[in-house]
Amino acid sequence: MKKIQILSFFIIVVVFSFIYTGCSARSNIATAKSGAQLWGENCLRCHNTPSPKTFSDAEWDAAVLHMRVRANLTASEATKIVEFLKTAN
């Protein structure tokens, strides 16, 4: 019984280490990308290519906030996308 508990604990530790490593790797990749790259990869796969001038800065803030949840964007990714759209606006 004790061997099963030790083995179970070991498996849990290994699984969580893989999950943690995968999450940190994704965030490291995302931090290396520009707002334009993130916009192209996340927004343009579902939407037609709107001009950044289509919306005002406030409208882009609201749109990206809404889409952050739907597209599963991190806070850093959403911030970079909004900054790109506002500078191109």
- pTM of the shown model: 0.62
Cβ within 8 Å of residue 63, ≥6 positions away = 55
Residue-wise pLDDT for 23-58, tens only, equals 555 555 556 899 999 998 998 888 887 788 888 999
Question: How far is 51 from 88, CA to CA, in rounded Å?
Answer: 9
Question: How far is 37 from 30, CA to CA, in rounded Å?
Answer: 10
> Which residue would you say has higher pLDDT here, 55 or 12?
55
Residue 31 gets which letter from DSSP?
H
Amino acid letter, 17: S
